[in-house]
C-alpha cells in the first residue's frame, strides 16, 4: 500500500478542491470528476446514480467487481466525498475516499464469490444527514426496492488520525472504562442489529492485519454511532458498520477549517486501508 498515493488523493480533494458541497457545486462536481477519473484509470466502469438537490446535479459513483457462485450476495464499501461548510475535509472525508480508491486498486482483478461494490456517496453532511436527500439514503432505498441482497455495508468514515500520547482518546460516557486511552487504533462500530456483521468483519480484519482494532456494537442513540452513511443502510434493513478513527473523540480538527492534509498520519492509514481491502476480499471469498 502506497502512503504517497493516499496522501495524493487527500491533497487533491482537500487542498486542490477544498470545501465541497451543493452550495459550492463546482467543487462538488470537481470532486466527483476526480474520483471518477481515478477509478476509471484503474480499469473500472463507473456507474453514476444522479439526482438533483437545490438545482444541483448530485452523483453517487459506483464500481462493481462481479461475483461468481454467490454473485447475488453483495459486500459493499462506501465513503462520502462532500464536506461541511467551512472545512476542506481532509480527514472528513477525503481520507475515506482515498481509502476507497486504494481499496479499488488492491481488489481489481480479484475473482470474488460474492459481488463487491465500491461507492462514493454524495451529501452525507448536514443539512442532508438524517434526511431524504442524503446520497447513501438514495442508494440504499433504491437497493432495497431492487431487492439487492447486501450482506454487509462498510462505511469508511475518517481513516487518518492516529495518536500515541496518553489520554488522546475520548469516549461517550462510561465507555472509556473498557477501551484504550491512546488514539492509536481503528474502530469498527455498529448498531445492535448489525452486531454479527460487526463481529465477522472484525475477525476478518484481525486475520489480515496486525493493526490495532477495537469494536463496539451499541444503540444508535449513543453519540457518534449512527453519524455516517451506515445509518441509511440500517434504515433500509441492511447490516452495516462504520470504520472510523473516532472523529471528534480523537481528532481536534473535526469539521473545522484546520482539517487539512498535513494533519493526517499516512503510514498508519496505509496499514488500515490494506487491512480493510484484505478483509473485504476474505468476506467476499476472493481468489487471486
Per-residue pLDDT at 44: 98
Q: Would you list the DSSP string of 232-287?
A: HHHHTT--EEEEES-GGGT-TTTTSTT--GGGS-HHHHHHHHHHHHHHHHHHHT-B
**What is the mean pLDDT of the segment spanning 49-61?**
97
Look at residue 228 and give its three-state secondary structure: coil
DSSP SS3 for 51:
strand
Nearest-5° angle of CA 265, CA 180, CA 89? 35
Q: What domains does the chain contain, in order, with CATH numbers?
A: 3-284 (3.40.630.10)
Closest CA to 104 of 160, 147, 46, 182: 46
| pLDDT exceeds 60 at position 163 | yes
Per-residue pLDDT reduced to its tens digit, 106-143: 999 999 999 999 999 999 999 999 888 999 999 999 99
pLDDT for the residue numbered 224? 85
38 is written with which cell numbers?
481515478
Taking the C-alpha atoms of residue 74 and residue 53, their distance in angstroms, rounded to an integer, is: 28
Q: Which residue has the cell 449513543?
A: 222
Span 251-275, mean pLDDT?
98
**Percent of the chain surpassing pLDDT 90:** 92
Average pLDDT on 215-238 reads 93
DSSP reduced 3-state for 32: helix
Q: Tell me if the pTM is above 0.95.
A: yes
Report the pLDDT value the prediction gives residue 1, as an integer from 0 to 100: 62
User: Where does residue 228 rank: exposed (0-12), middle (13-18), buried (19+ CB within 10 A)?
Assistant: buried
Segment 201-220 mean pLDDT: 97
Residue 69: Cβ-neighbour burial (10 angstroms; 0-12, 13-18, 19+): exposed
The dihedral sign for the CA sequence 128, 257, 260, 188? negative
Tell me which of 36-45, 64-73, 173-182, 191-200 is least confident.
173-182
pLDDT value, residue 52 = 96
Is there a contact between 67 and 110 (Cβ–Cβ < 8 Å)?
A: no
Q: At what angle do helices 195-208 and 266-284 cross, to 10 degrees?
A: 110
**Mean pLDDT of the 153-179 span:** 95
> What average pLDDT does the structure give for the chain?
96
**Contact indicator for 59, 39 with CB cutoff of 8 Å:** no
Per-residue pLDDT, 176: 80
Determine the 3-state secondary structure of 142 from DSSP.
helix
Query: Could you tell me which of 24, 53, 240 has the C-alpha nearest to residue 138?
Result: 53
Quick check: 60 pLDDT over 50?
yes
List 114's β-bridge partners, or say none.
70
Q: Is 266 exposed, middle or buried (0-12, 13-18, 19+ CB in 10 A)?
A: buried
Question: According to the model, what pLDDT value does residue 288 have?
Answer: 39
Dump pLDDT digits (tens) for 72-101.
Answer: 999 999 999 999 999 999 999 999 999 999
Tell me if 198 sits within 8 A of 215, measured CB to CB: yes
Of the candidates 150, 234, 148, 151, the residue with the CA atom closest to the CA atom of residue 189: 234
What 3-state DSSP class applies to 77? strand
Nearest-Å Rg of the Cα atoms of the chain is 17
Amino acid at each position: 500500500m502506497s502512503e504517497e498515493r493516499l496522501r495524493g488523493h487527500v491533497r487533491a480533494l482537500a487542498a486542490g478542491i477544498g470545501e465541497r458541497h451543493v452550495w459550492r457545486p463546482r467543487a462538488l462536481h470537481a470532486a466527483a470528476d476526480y474520483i471518477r477519473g481515478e477509478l476509471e484509470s484503474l480499469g473500472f466502469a463507473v456507474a453514476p446514480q444522479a439526482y438533483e438537490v437545490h438545482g444541483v446535479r448530485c452523483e453517487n459513483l459506483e464500481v462493481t467487481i462481479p461475483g461468481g457462485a454467490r454473485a447475488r450476495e453483495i459486500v459493499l464499501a462506501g465513503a462520502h466525498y462532500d464536506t461541511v461548510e467551512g472545512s476542506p475535509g481532509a480527514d472528513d472525508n477525503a481520507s475515506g475516499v482515498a481509502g476507497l480508491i486504494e481499496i479499488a486498486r488492491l481488489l481489481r482483478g480479484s475473482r470474488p464469490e460474492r459481488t463487491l461494490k465500491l461507492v462514493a456517496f454524495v451529501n452525507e453532511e448536514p443539512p442532508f444527514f438524517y434526511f431524504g436527500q442524503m446520497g447513501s439514503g438514495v442508494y440504499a432505498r433504491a437497493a432495497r426496492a431492487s431487492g439487492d441482497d447486501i450482506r454487509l455495508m462498510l462505511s469508511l468514515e475518517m481513516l487518518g488520525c492516529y495518536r500515541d500520547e496518553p489520554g488522546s482518546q475520548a469516549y461517550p460516557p462510561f465507555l472509556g472504562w473498557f477501551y484504550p486511552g491512546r488514539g492509536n487504533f481503528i474502530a469498527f462500530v455498529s448498531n445492535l442489529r448489525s452486531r454479527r456483521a460487526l463481529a465477522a468483519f472484525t475477525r476478518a480484519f484481525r486475520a489480515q492485519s496486525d493493526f490495532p482494532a477495537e469494536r463496539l456494537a451499541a444503540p444508535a442513540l449513543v453519540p457518534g454511532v449512527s453519524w455516517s452513511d451506515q445509518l441509511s443502510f440500517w434504515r433500509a434493513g441492511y447490516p452495516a458498520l462504520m470504520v472510523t478513527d473516532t472523529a471528534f473523540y480523537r481528532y481536534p480538527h473535526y469539521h473545522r477549517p484546520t482539517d487539512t492534509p498535513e494533519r493526517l498520519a499516512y503510514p498508519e492509514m496505509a496499514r488500515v486501508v490494506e487491512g480493510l481491502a484484505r478483509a473485504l476480499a476474505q468476506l467476499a471469498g476472493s481468489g487471486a
